[in-house]
Amino acid sequence: MRLLQKSKWLAVIVTVCLGLGVTVPVEIQAAPVKSQTKPDDKVLSSLNISASTLALQAGESKSVTLKAVYSNGSTSSVTTKAAWTSSNSSVVTVKNGMLKAVAPGTAVVTASYMEKSISTTVTVEKKLKTLEISARSIALLSGDTAKPKVTAVYTDGSKVDVTDKVKWQSKGTAAVMSNGTITANGSGSTTFTGTFGDKKVTIAVKVDEISKIVVASQQLTLFPDDRIDLPTRVIYKNGVVKNIVERATWTSNNKAVASVKDGQIIAHKKGKATITVSFGGKKQTISVTVM
């Protein structure tokens, strides 16, 4: 018997019987050949890095992680398996996902794994030493505004105005902060804490908190139809003095004798009256005699 193999097995059986040769063609289906390779059910689809951009200070270290995402939806950490490179090692160095900021500048850090890669842009700034502020405490009247200046001082001695880059948080409702500008709302106090980099600075704001009200005179003698403007100031607890004539509340206990508006006292007829000025929880009185 002789076997010949093509796409199918063809067997030719030759039988010799009684000196006569009989040839019978027979087709035999070949058994399927099993593959020796398992289906690939875990193909790398993409890489994910924990930060696409980073801002660091010179001397600071920061770790980033790398994950492999596969076609079947699974993920695995490949941070230590990837190849890491920096476009500028004088600015940033990297090893197994650990970045170290060397000097100010910008560098692109790239992670490569199984023929795929992903990058993050790293900006390195000078190392911040401290923050300076133009005023640690501010006294304001309701409606007043103030914008303290914040300066960043770096370890190399340089200074930069960062007033518009500071992030502020407040405690209290007497004042609010918007884009670095403080606006006084009403009497009381508010503490603002500003953050830039890893440093903080605080400002204590006092609104309408006064020690006393001072008027030019506490006793007046007038004649009918006389008019007199009475300069009036407040002295804050921190020593700041401000004019409050138009902001204070003025009253008279005898308007028929003498009335008052915005600090101007008007005598009407003979008699006595008491003028009271109020502001920020404080009061002051003026005795008026009309002759």
pLDDT at 276: 96
- Which of 186, 175, 49 lies closest to 119, judged by CA? 49
- What are the structure tokens assigned to 84, written together? 């890491």
Report yes or no: 113 and 66 within 8 Å, Cβ to Cβ. yes
- Which of 144, 136, 143, 51 lies closest to 99, judged by CA? 51
Q: Is 155 within the bounds of a domain?
A: yes
Buried b (16+ CB within 10 A) or exposed e, 1-38: eeeeeeeeeeeeeeeeeeeeeeeeeeeeeeeeeeeeee
Residue 151: CATH number of its domain? 2.60.40.1080
For residue 200, what are the domain limits? 128-207
Q: Is 105 within the bounds of a domain?
A: yes
Q: Is 11 within the bounds of a domain?
A: yes
Number of domains comprising the chain: 4
pLDDT at 282: 87
pLDDT at 41: 62
Same domain for 12 and 83, yes or no, is no
Same domain for 50 and 116, yes or no, is yes
Residue carrying structure tokens 């709302």: 185
Same domain for 215 and 285, yes or no, is yes
- Which of 99, 111, 289, 280 lies closest to 189, judged by CA? 280
Same domain for 152 and 192, yes or no, is yes
Same domain for 239 and 260, yes or no, is yes
Same domain for 196 and 240, yes or no, is no
- Which of 231, 247, 152 lies closest to 194, judged by CA? 152
Q: Is 166 within the bounds of a domain?
A: yes
User: What is the distance between the alpha carbons of residues 9 and 185, in angstroms, rounded to a whole number?
Assistant: 98
Same domain for 157 and 145, yes or no, is yes
pLDDT at 42: 80
Burial of 165 (0-12, 13-18, 19+ CB in 10 A): middle
pLDDT at 25: 53
Residue finishing a domain among 182, 207, 232: 207
Residue finishing a domain among 172, 207, 242: 207
Report yes or no: 158 and 126 within 8 Å, Cβ to Cβ. yes
Residue finishing a domain among 80, 106, 125: 125
- Which of 130, 185, 129, 137 lies closest to 155, judged by CA? 129
Q: Compute, in degrees rounded to 10, the torsion defined by CA atoms 97, 98, 103, 109.
A: 0
Q: Is 251 within the bounds of a domain?
A: yes
Query: 83 φ, ψ to 5°?
Result: -100, 125
Global pTM exceeds 0.85: no
Same domain for 90 and 140, yes or no, is no
Buried b (16+ CB within 10 A) or exposed e, 263-287: bebbbbeeeebebebebbebebbbe
Same domain for 196 and 136, yes or no, is yes
Same domain for 85 and 147, yes or no, is no
Question: Please, what are the averages of pLDDT over each run of 10 residues along the chain (291 residues)?
Answer: 40 41 50 46 90 92 96 94 96 97 96 96 94 92 91 93 95 94 91 94 89 91 94 83 89 95 94 92 93 93
Q: Return all residues near 177 (Cβ < 8 A) that are at least 6 apart.
A: 168, 170, 183, 192
Same domain for 199 and 229, yes or no, is no
Same domain for 158 and 118, yes or no, is no
Per residue in 11-45, pLDDT (tens digit) is 444 443 344 444 545 454 545 544 443 444 689 99
Q: Is 174 within the bounds of a domain?
A: yes
Q: Is 36 within the bounds of a domain?
A: no
Report yes or no: 232 and 239 within 8 Å, Cβ to Cβ. no
